């Protein structure tokens, strides 16, 4: 199969099946950027409400650049990965100072903004500006690996770069945004992770090597992740006169700058905690 053959059926399917998502109703560079950052590591359903509140409170780069950190983190509260919010504000300041308040219409310039990597730069460049840049996320890697029965390890950065070159080579003229979104949408809703894909609903079933071989779930190949590190902590509830003690975490590292209950390493009983806190 020549991979170009997926373009038309995929675009036709997307035109019929694209989900109605808040950030798709009005496409601006700012809205695409905010939605793409929020969607990193986060489910679409969880993002919808946050996106509406964020855009309502901070409708453009000027408001985002000027917001104070407390309000920013309040808008982000519960979404996790708070460095994303801080990087958004840093990037908004660069946009105000360097780009006259508008996101730059260039892949290279987008890549220089804090918190913007190749995927996000490609998504904003293609969806908001129509530039022929790939936007390869986990969904796209999964679809490509199944379509071509490619057993390369998708956790390998070189494999991702190769996928970006592949996608760049087949982006249809003038339809980069729709094409990138169609590939991601197929991966999110049909050629989904965690179990067998819905090949019966797939517009590419007749072109797909994994489907032809009946071994769709053998792809993608991904090296096992390192085991999650489990840390035991003893959390202290220190109450006096209806006041509860909180402390602020260091400015760098995990949950940087957020408030937390004081805590100690290890699983301690009351006496052990008093002893350790001395």
Minimum separation from the CB atom of position 232 to ligand SF4 (A) = 41
Q: What would the x/- binding string for ligand SF4 be over residues 117 to 156, using CB under 6 A? A: --------------------------x--xx---------
Q: What would the x/- binding string for ligand SF4 be over residues 45 to 74, using CB under 6 A? A: ------------------------------
Could you say which of 16, 26, 36, 45 is catalytic?
36
Is position 205 an interface residue for ligand SF4 (rule: CB under 6 A)? yes
Identify whether the C-beta of residue 119 lies closer than 8 Å to the C-beta of residue 35.
no
Part in contact with ligand SF4 (CB under 6 A); list of ranges 33-41, 148-156, 166-174, 205-213: 205-213
Secondary structure (H, E, C), the chain: CCHHHHHHHHHHHHHHHCCCCHHHHCCCHHHHHHHHHHHCCCCHHHHHHHHHHHHHHCCCHHHHHHCCHHHHHHHHCCCCCCHHHHHHHHHHHHHHHHCCCCCCCCHHHHHCCCCCCHHHHHHHHHHHHCCCCCCCCHHHHHHHHHHCCCCCECCCHHHHHHHHHHHHHHCCCCCHHHHHHHHHHHHHHCCCCCCCCCHHHCCCHHHCHHHHHCCHHHCCECCCCCCCCCCCEEECCCEECCEECCEECCCCCCCCCCEECCEEECCCCHHHHHHHHC
Is position 191 an interface residue for ligand SF4 (rule: CB under 6 A)? yes
R_g of the chain computed on alpha carbons:
22
Is position 268 an interface residue for ligand SF4 (rule: CB under 6 A)? no
Among 188, 210, 268, 273, binds ligand SF4 (CB under 6 A): 210
Shorter beta-carbon distance to ligand SF4: residue 110 or 202: 202
Among 75, 91, 103, 208, binds ligand SF4 (CB under 6 A): 208
Minimum separation from the CB atom of position 17 to ligand SF4 (A) = 13
> Catalytic: 36?
yes
Is position 202 an interface residue for ligand SF4 (rule: CB under 6 A)? yes
How many residues bind to ligand SF4 according to rule CB under 6 A? 14
Part in contact with ligand SF4 (CB under 6 A); list of ranges 13-21, 24-32, 74-82, 189-197: 189-197
Q: Which residues are part of the catalytic machinery? A: 36
Residues that bind ligand SF4 (CB under 6 A): 143, 146-147, 190-191, 197, 199, 202, 204-205, 208, 210-211, 216
């Amino acid at each position: 199969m020549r991979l170009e053959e997926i373009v038309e059926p995929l675009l036709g399917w997307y035109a019929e099946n694209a989900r109605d998502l808040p950030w798709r109703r009005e496409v601006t560079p700012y809205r695409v950027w905010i939605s793409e950052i929020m969607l990193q590591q986060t489910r679409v359903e969880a993002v919808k409400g946050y996106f509406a509140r964020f855009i309502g409170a901070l409708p453009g780069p000027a408001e985002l650049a000027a917001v104070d950190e407390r309000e920013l983190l309040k808008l982000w509260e519960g979404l996790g990965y708070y460095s994303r919010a801080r990087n958004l504000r840093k990037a908004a300041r660069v946009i105000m100072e360097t780009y006259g308040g508008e996101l730059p219409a260039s892949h290279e310039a987008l890549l220089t903004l804090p918190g913007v990597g190749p995927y996000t730069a490609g998504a904003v460049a293609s969806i908001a500006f129509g530039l022929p840049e790939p936007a390869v996320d986990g969904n796209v890697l999964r679809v490509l690996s199944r379509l071509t029965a490619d057993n390369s390890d998708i956790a390998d950065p070189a494999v991702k770069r190769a996928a970006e070159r592949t996608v760049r080579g087949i982006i249809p003229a003038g339809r980069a945004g729709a094409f990138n979104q169609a590939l991601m949408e197929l991966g999110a809703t049909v050629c989904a992770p965690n179990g067998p894909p819905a090949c019966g609903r797939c517009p590419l079933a007749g072109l797909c090597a994994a489907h032809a071989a009946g071994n769709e779930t053998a792809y993608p190949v991904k090296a096992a992740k390192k085991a999650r590190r489990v840390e035991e902590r003893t959390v202290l509830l220190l109450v006096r006169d209806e006041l509860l003690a909180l402390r602020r975490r260091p400015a760098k590292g995990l949950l940087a700058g957020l408030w937390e209950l004081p805590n100690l390493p290890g699983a301690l009983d009351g006496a052990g905690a008093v002893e350790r806190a001395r």
